[in-house]
């Protein structure tokens, strides 16, 4: 089954900016994240599809390659910037083990594999930064054998590949170099495999880490912890851990880039007469002056009351949209006052310009329909 276009997956144009991509991914991540759709395989698939599209399009180099070659840019042979890097890349290393990273040269992995984990944050944590303790399932060196895979911590040179870690196999007219099937590319043999790790030298284990989250992060941002990923064979460094952020929905604020939006309900008497409103912000209360005859939907901008960018010193704004709310559970006296107030409008044309315009539009519509 062919993959969908990454821009189509995120619902953006090919000319979309980095902020446009981030907003689109954030929306889809919030909607389809597995934690919010327990057991929903379709939502899980859509989340993975959006994550894959984001990881490619958010990287300038990968995006250029994708724009030029499409999905073929990341198939065998295209990712290295033109041509094949070695014979093993053409056919794939069918003996690569569960724990290692990429293989080169003598068959030894250069490092352990990277790990990824998603951390949910409240908006306040994302804006001001925090430190989170996270439990990370990772592949670590076995303590019993100190990562050697051997009970007595002794290994011998592989008799098949003579320590090279790679052998030459014939496939038709080709002679292909590949990982040694006897030692899985390690170049070593173990006579007495460790019982704890069964000779792998590494085991699955959960570890607890304290992660410092910088101020200003948003959904899709990642923090890299060097060396906190999966362990590689002895003598090779660990992979890295990438902590990806997902910011929870907030009861008051919605975030768009570095700007924050909120809706402020007001009475129609406040909208008509004007007044002063106290508005909550992330660093305390602020006041806005509502002019008389304010209509619902009007935006008030509080400059510098948004989010400070994680990548610089830019500070976003807080935009407050007023919404005129109809009062409920009126007392007898309130109803009498409203009825008296309503009787003063006559035809209302001087006081309700939008309603007058709408009524004129309706009359024009019916005139065309009946003519």
Question: Tens of pLDDT along 318-366?
Answer: 999 999 999 899 999 999 999 998 888 776 566 776 766 777 787 887 8
Rounded to whole angstroms, the Cα distance separating 105 from 93 reads 13
Segments in the chain forming alpha helices (H): 6-10, 18-32, 41-57, 60-69, 87-91, 123-128, 268-273, 332-342, 353-370
> Measured between alpha carbons, how far is 242 from 253 in angstroms, rounded to an integer?
27
Q: Helices 41-57 and 60-69: crossing angle, nearest 10°? A: 100
The residue to which tokens 């002063």 are assigned: 276
Looking at CATH, the fold of the domain delimited by 254-350 is given as HSP40/DNAj peptide-binding domain (2.60.260)
Q: What is the C-alpha separation between 324 and 267, in angstroms, rounded?
A: 6
- 157 vs 190: CA distance, rounded Å: 9
pLDDT < 70 stretches in the chain: 1-2, 75-110, 170-174, 234-235, 347-350, 353, 355-356
What's the CA gap between 78 and 141, in Å, rounded?
34
Q: What is the pLDDT of residue 84?
A: 29
**pTM recorded for the entire structure:** 0.59
Instruction: Tally Cβ neighbours within 10 Å of residue 215.
Output: 14
The secondary structure element, H or E, covering residue 37 is none
| Three-state secondary-structure class, residue 115 | strand
Q: Regarding the domain delimited by 1-83, which CATH topology (the fold level of the hierarchy) does it fall under?
A: Helix Hairpins (1.10.287)
Cβ contacts of 35 within 8 Å, gap of 6 or more: 120
CA–CA dist 115, 312 (Å, integer): 27
Q: Which helix (H) or strand (E) holds 112?
A: none
Q: Where are the beta strands (DSSP E) in 72-180?
A: 115-121, 130-141, 156-157, 166-171, 174-179
pLDDT number for residue 172? 60
Separation CA 322–CA 319 (nearest Å): 10
Q: Where are the domains of the chain?
A: 1-83, 254-350
């Amino acid at each position: 089954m062919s993959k969908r276009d990454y821009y189509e997956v995120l619902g953006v144009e090919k000319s979309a900016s980095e902020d446009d991509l981030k907003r689109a991914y954030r929306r889809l991540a919030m909607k389809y994240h597995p934690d919010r759709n327990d057991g929903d395989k379709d939502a899980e698939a859509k989340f993975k599809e959006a994550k894959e599209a984001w990881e490619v399009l958010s990287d300038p180099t990968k995006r250029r390659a994708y724009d030029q070659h499409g999905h073929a840019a990341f198939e065998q042979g295209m990712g290295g910037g033109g041509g094949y890097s070695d014979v093993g890349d053409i056919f794939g290393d069918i003996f690569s083990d569960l724990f290692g990273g990429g293989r080169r040269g003598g068959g030894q992995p250069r490092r352990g594999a990277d790990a990824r984990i998603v951390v949910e944050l409240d908006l306040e944590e994302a804006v001001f930064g925090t430190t989170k303790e996270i439990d990370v399932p990772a592949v670590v060196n076995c303590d019993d054998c100190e990562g050697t895979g051997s009970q007595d911590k002794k290994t011998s040179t592989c008799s098949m590949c003579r320590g090279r870690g790679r052998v030459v196999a014939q496939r038709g007219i080709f002679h292909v170099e590949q990982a040694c099937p006897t030692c899985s590319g390690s170049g070593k043999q173990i006579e007495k495999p460790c019982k704890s790790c069964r000779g792998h030298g590494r085991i699955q284990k959960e570890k607890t880490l304290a992660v410092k989250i910088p101020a200003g992060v948003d959904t899709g941002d990642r923090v890299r912890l060097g060396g906190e990923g999966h362990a590689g064979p002895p003598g090779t460094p660990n992979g890295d851990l990438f902590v990806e952020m997902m910011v929870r929905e907030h009861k008051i604020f919605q975030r768009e880039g570095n700007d924050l939006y909120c809706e402020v309900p007001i009475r129609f008497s406040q909208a008509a007469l004007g007044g002063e409103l106290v508005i909550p912000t992330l660093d305390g209360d602020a006041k806005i002056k509502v002019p008389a005859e304010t209509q619902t939907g009007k935006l008030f901008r509080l400059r510098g009351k948004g989010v400070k960018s994680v990548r610089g010193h830019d500070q976003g704004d807080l935009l407050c949209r007023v919404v005129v709310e109809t009062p409920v559970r009126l007392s007898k006296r309130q109803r009498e006052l409203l009825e008296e107030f309503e009787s003063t409008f006559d035809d209302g044309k001087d006081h309700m310009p939008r309603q007058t315009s709408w009524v004129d539009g309706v009359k024009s519509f019916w005139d065309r329909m009946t003519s």
